[in-house]
Amino acid sequence: MKISSVCLVLLTAEVYGVAAREAHYTATVTPNGEGYTLAPQNSYGGWVNPEDLTPMPQCIAQQDQSTWLSTMTKCTSKRCTRHFAFICTHYQWLTQLSCLSIGFSSNVIEGYLPYCGRSVLAKAQLYLWIRKITGRTWLVDVGDANELQNLSPASLTKGYAAVDVIYKAPICLTGSVSALSMEPFQHVVASCSFTSTAQHTGNAARPWEYSESLRSMIALDFETVGYNLAGRSIRYGDYFDKECFCGAFAIDPEKEPCLVLGQLGLTKERLWINATCGAMSLPDNWTDTLKTTEFAYIPTEDWHWPMCVADMPKQVIELTDHCATDACEVDSSGYCKVKRAVDKACFCRNISYDSCGGSCQIFETRIDYIKWLHDLCGNVQDWHGLPDNWRQLAAPTPLELIPWRWTLKPSSDSNITNDTRLGSARATEKCASNEWKLGSFALVNIATFLAAFLSQRTFIHQIARGFLWHPRPRCWFFKGTLIAALQLVANRFNVFLVQTTPGYEDVPVIELMLLWCSMPRLAWLPILLNFPAAASFLFAEMILQCLSSYCMVMTASYGLEHGFYRGGMERVERGGPAKIMYAGALIWAIIIISLVLFKLVWATPRMDKSRGSEETPLTSSEGEDYAVYGTFSVKGHNNWVSQKLSVELYATVKIILLLWIAQWLFWAGFIGLSSEEYVFMHILSPC
Ligand SMILES: *[C@@H]1O[C@H](CO)[C@@H](O)[C@H](O)[C@H]1NC(C)=O
Ligand SMILES: *[C@@H]1O[C@H](CO)[C@@H](O)[C@H](O)[C@H]1NC(C)=O
Ligand SMILES: *[C@@H]1O[C@H](CO)[C@@H](O)[C@H](O)[C@H]1NC(C)=O
Ligand SMILES: *[C@@H]1O[C@H](CO)[C@@H](O)[C@H](O)[C@H]1NC(C)=O
Ligand SMILES: *[C@@H]1O[C@H](CO)[C@@H](O)[C@H](O)[C@H]1NC(C)=O
């Protein structure tokens, strides 16, 4: 193997001896210098073939090589390599190793070191060359190569970057020169560059040769600096040492190369310098004018409109085009990636809360619009586009917590835009006198008590006549309906009172009457003591509860629809009473729904059972009262029916009691919610 490769080297020398210069021009890059790291193999008594010498280091190849080459040339001469007797049959240009070790003195190296010493890897490559050729373990001064003996990735103190990142720098930067040395940017990058492993850039097999025409040694190849010198391998590619670059290249903070190229160029430049070298060489307030998507610019793809976008005027929609510009998105490494973006300051300058009407100013879409506006422009300097009370507008207003929109205020200024603004209206119309108001409410209760009294009279009358109370469907049906009707008449009278107030002529009669139906009625409570008469009152109550379902169900479904039961009333003005009101409505609805479900589930089995219990007396021989089919024993049957009825009445009373509690909650909340405003006052008694 050794013999054959020596032969090959010799053969190559003979065949390509003259063609060496062409080889220089048709140099090929060998991806890895495999089989190349040859020690001088063919020593002719201390003389070696130049092509056996280690290729030129990268940092030498990048500067003026004349001193280097002349040093080598001095040690090279034409020597006889083959004799026949005393006649020389073959001459060859050979280099004397001992001459080289003297020639590459510290004086020669000193001239190359400022450049080669920029990058620790390049310096290490030079050191290895010197050590191999001269056996010296230092470069210029004793000990100056100690740090190079054991390189590690940490030796590159600022790390490295792929050479590709120079494409992320603006042309104004890559085309500039270092403020210190006037050295071009690209040149500085080259001086700090290295490859993953050492690469040959020319004829790897013949790195050196003596050119007779030039009378000088020439380099046909040089070897790049490999990162493997740091004892670690990295992905194949070209890199540069950041420490080296930042030490050799600097911009003048007073005269930045991209200052004249506008904000985007300047941003690109500053981000590139910051990401590569840190902010040290940048002006102190360099971040002030950055055109990045972090704050002042919003990438077009991230732009979103509020829910009420359909109601936004065309001028506002077009602002995104008007204010569109290019800005830098800072990538994960800190470099600029140009993106189309909307200039926040430009957009916000031309928009305020009042720019959009319609659904943008109504309830949930208004809340969304305010949040959008605040998120977008809230921290833009000198922007005051939100009204002073925007925090209130960003939550449901007390008026919006009320599920119906009627009778909020006199029709003369019932404008939804005005409604949503708090405290804008104060009715000053002439009011119904207090006597009238009190009278109307007294009327409602007198009606109930009157009915109660009448029933009691009937009951006492019945006892006096020795009758036991027994169900007379028509009787309690009639009385119950009458009581409910009385209540409705009283409500209608109150509506009439409201309507006579100027400005309230348009209040909806039915809705208002139904709302009053949902009021908890105290009057029927005493009736519980007179149990038998309760049937009529409970029936009346059932009718009124049915009517009150309008408001209760409306409130509960409004609450569900607007998320009031899911925390939608947190930190809302007068949210406390509103919560009570909505809780009352929900409890009421739940009671009714469970009642209906209970009836549905239990109705079928009980029907069978009741049929059975109806049959039992007929087939039973127990008690002669039942012996004759078709004739009622009044006493026995009455006992059984009244017992059954009293159980059912008792259950109904309990349910109505629960509904009554729910109604109290509803009204307590409703009054609390609307008392400070005109709403409640207007509904119960205008003004
Ligand atoms: C500047 O560079 C530092 C360090 O790499 C980084 O933390 C910072 O975010 C950069 N500044 C900007 C504005 O990109
Ligand atoms: C940076 O600050 C200096 C003074 O501190 C000021 O003169 C200069 O105008 C500022 N530059 C920018 C771009 O804000
Ligand atoms: C935005 O506002 C500025 C002044 O504040 C005005 O000059 C400009 O015309 C407005 N642009 C649009 C599109 O309305
Ligand atoms: C509400 O205000 C708008 C805008 O001023 C007006 O056009 C509309 O007629 C008003 N509506 C009522 C009911 O007053
Ligand atoms: C809103 O109410 C004010 C009085 O508080 C009134 O002057 C104004 O005209 C109303 N706006 C609309 C649009 O009705």
Residue 405 C-alpha to ligand 4 middle, in angstroms?
15
Which atom of ligand 2 lies closest to the CA of 289? 13
Residue 531 binned pLDDT confidence (cut-offs 50, 70, 90): low
Which residue has tokens 């039915």? Answer: 510
Q: How far is the CA of 350 from the centre of ligand 3 (A)?
A: 6
Q: How many of the other CB atoms lie within 10 Å of CB of 640?
A: 12
Of 361, 411, 417, 420, which is best to mutate to test ligand 4, by the most ligand atoms within 8 angstroms of its C-beta?
417
Proportion of the chain in helix, strand, coil states, percent, rounded to 5: 55, 10, 35
Alpha-carbon gap, residue 248 to 665, rounded angstroms: 79
Q: Looking at residue 9, what is its pLDDT? A: 30
Protein residue with its CA nearest to atom 2 in ligand 4: 415
Q: How far is the CA of 400 from the centre of ligand 5 (A)?
A: 18
Predicted local confidence at residue 160, as pLDDT: 95
240: confidence class by pLDDT, cuts 50, 70, 90: very high
Please name the residue ranges forming H helices in 286-433. Answer: 314-322, 344-349, 363-377, 390-393, 398-401, 416-420
Of 23-37, 147-161, 175-189, where does mean pLDDT reach its minimum? 23-37
- Check pocket membership of 332 for ligand 2, CB cut-off 6 A: no
Q: Which of 307, 429, 296 is nearest to 364 (CA)?
A: 307
Largest CA distance in the chain: 168
Of 662, 655, 517, the closest CA to residue 589 belongs to 662
Instruction: Please identify, by atom number, the ligand 5 atom nearest to the C-alpha of residue 413.
Output: 14
Average pLDDT of 267-286?
Answer: 92
As a whole number, mean pLDDT of residues 202-208 equals 92
Separation between Cα atoms, residue 408 and residue 648, nearest integer Å: 41
What's the pLDDT score for residue 299? 95
Residue bearing the bigger pLDDT, 586 or 459: 586
Give the angle 15-52-124 at the CA atoms, nearest 5°. 145
Half-sphere exposure of 575 (CA within 13 A, CB side): 12
Quote the ligand 3 centre to 317 CA distance (angstroms): 13
pTM: 0.67
Which has the minimum average pLDDT: 236-250, 409-423, 494-508, 516-530? 409-423
Measured in angstroms, how far is the CA atom of residue 290 from the centroid of ligand 2?
Answer: 13
User: Which residue, by CA, sits nearest to atom 12 of ligand 3?
Assistant: 350
Class of residue 539 by CB neighbours under 10 A (exposed 0-12, middle 13-18, buried 19+): buried
When pLDDT is averaged across residues 356-381 and rounded to a whole number, the result is 91
Other beta carbons within 10 Å of 203: 24
Q: Specify the higher pLDDT residue, 271 or 430.
A: 271
417 CA closest ligand 5 atom index: 13
3, pLDDT greater than 50: no
pLDDT of 85: 83
**What mean pLDDT do residues 308-320 have?**
93
